[in-house]
Chains A and B, each alone.
Chain A
């Protein structure tokens, strides 16, 4: 008998197409029909974190680089968007009671009399949209180039990224006049004249957000099934072998890290648009590491798992912290420990091991490649 070889490498396997269809059905039909405007907006907010989790699947799950600073990129993307919206909300008519009309209110409160130079580009929407992705990605590139070219990885990299998250938070909080400080950039109203505070606008933004998320899933899927995706896995396993097969290992790591940063940045910008503000509390150590748990709960190797993991953890957070605020931190802490000790492959791992075999009772000819990945070998 000749095995059907996986030499033909389809963009997605049938199972993955089904998962994508399910996800689209959930985001575009089930949730909008089942939830009221407020709850839908809440789900929209959760889904912006899913961008970060998606990036972490590529960067951490596939490439083995754990970044504890994803909030930095989420925040930078969000701040870029918020700066544009804030400038639009701070037109001369809107701010004529200020001592310097035409600049954001918090600048006026901090005795700043002219718009700082780095705010200037954010008067233009096209420049802003470019900056949303470009600024965080370039920042990730600089960090990645400095670290990976010098062969820094693993725990060191995690610590450094965490320190960067801490530094950026302190900086934003400290430079109140330029950044809005601890309150962040608030009171955002319109996007190019379109009021984003109305229910209709929020619904539209929800769908835009969902569309972008699906687009990012497809991009991630493309990367995952390309040779580059397999090189990432190979590097995680035997970095030296990849290097001595003629690859510049650092470039591939930088790529994975930048991709994750770009995803996070898009999420951050969508967060600002849907929630109507951006603040340092989404940048620092705590949110950054919480975003890691979303990916971990969903399954660090599963793109779809990351999205469901994000939704599940945030749903649990909202439910528990509303009714039992004390229990929530215990629960979250236990979740971190449980996911590491008992379910290293998260929901996706549980699905693959326990649910899928029951659904697909196919003969044993299924290729061994379908075995759960990352099963402990040693």
Chain B
């Protein structure tokens, strides 16, 4: 009997080991990129373009939730709109420059007038030509809070007027360095006025000028796009179809990539990267990210209305250890509040590096003895916050501060922070290139996302100056001065900027990735050997 039991247990273990084992010769042999059993995604058939796999399938971590660009501002939806729609200006992923797209040039004619010359050969996916009427219609709709969820992003714009068929004028309340970047956002993609005028068209927002056309959304299963055969530019999409598949479970997403069911795995779990790196048919790509994770303080409430105490906490935290523990090293520490990669990023100030003795000294200067202080740390119940929070709890225990961790779902956490109920909180902020998204949205007095409840007239004034200063050198100096000031004021402890890590079929070409995740898959395809 014991023998039988032992044999059965052995069988179970073999079953588990076979399943869990890393890449072996079976996969490698089977993955020779030519047959139907290739691991890594080359099992698709050839599309209408020779040498290009017909379908590009992207495994995403959540389903899309909206098809109308102006009714949302979620990254996953925006990844879809990047395929189907275009904006006046396009933001590059390497230099963060605004380059022509549906506008071929633009000029500030004075402090309140921005004039765009539009391209004259563009057309929508239904074949109708694009002109100034479409731009005016799009922005009038976007500025109307009854018809748009992103009206607040255009608060600076007073009106948009047609000058002629291919010239439009934006009248603004003041000059802004960031307006062009705002206009590059996918929620402000250009819509077809003619499609909206056609009352029989129930989904006019699907019509865009992009390289792909929306085909089908099977909720919870997939959203499919096909190549726009009316595309006006000279660099159309390569794959016949692009499919986004929501696969919520990250381990399942990895398995789907290895089995070739998807070609791209968004957000592969860090603990499975070594398995993917061993797979000869998979490329694990990482690049500098733009998403800053930080420990924030409620500066309007005891005890963190005390700047010295905030500095003490900052000195107690070992960022390198957090990066290694939580991200397995896939991240960069930083001192400043501006996301790494954003123009004017400056990280050379002294700041508050990990130094337990200094932390204890500052704690004492702040008026607290060891063991006296107990604080709440509010976090969202997802990753990576649940991993970071216990580490912070331990760091602060070392200097004699007790931390109670309180978990919420993300929306509740935001609501709690907006109401000012928190003392400390863990949060993240993704910024690609707009400084106002940092200085104004995080630190300006009474701004809804100023969860620090930080209020400082100097910061408010400087934020406006950085936003409106035209001289580049002066603006750079202003921005760096403001960063130095904010690091000293310490409304937050910047922890790290997580790298963008993404895994895909080794034959994937034409990727256009952004460190914060706002990828544009318009040019991507899988090359067949």
Partners in one complex: no
